[in-house]
Amino acid sequence: MANTFVLEIATPERLLIRADVIEAQVPASNGYLGIMPGHSPLLAELGSGELAFVMPNGTRKYLAVDGGWAEVLPDRVRVLATHAEKADEIDAKRAQDALNRATERLAHPDANLDVARALNAMKRAQARLAAAAHK
């Protein structure tokens, strides 16, 4: 069994990552998946969160992802995310502003508040801030 696998992360707009990695943590809709070479095949729905992976030289890299699918095979992981950003591309101030707006909406709801949408906005902002902290 090889000690790496190919990780591909893409959005409908672009390919963000195609690299050999030694492990990955992927935010699925029901919790994080820890993936190592030789992992059993599976298909998982993505949630909102911080996706992390480790390069063969030990460098850990981070992205924020939201929605989509992950296909895990023994030698390859394909992540097709609805939205994804590399840590160094994230505007932390903008993400913090989005988190503040979502938190304020939830703290002081009105009759027109879409609670699910506000919670999703909060999760996306939290994921973006967590990934951006690793710049």
Residue 46 pairs in a beta bridge with 28
For the domain spanning 90-132, the CATH number is: 1.20.5
| pTM recorded for the entire structure | 0.88
Does the pLDDT of residue 111 top 90, yes or no?
no
Topology, domain 5-87: ATP Synthase; domain 1 (2.60.15)
Average pLDDT, the chain: 94
Distance between alpha carbon 34 and the CA centroid of its chain, in Å?
A: 13
Indicate the Cα dihedral angle 66, 49, 61, 90, nearest 10°: 60
Element spanning 79, H or E: strand 76-86
What's phi and psi for 66, nearest 5 deg?
-150, 115
pLDDT tens digits for 29-46?
999 999 999 999 999 999
Q: Which pLDDT does position 75 carry in this prediction?
A: 94
pLDDT tens digits for 46-84?
999 999 999 999 999 999 999 999 999 999 999 999 999
Give the domain ranges of the chain: 5-87, 90-132
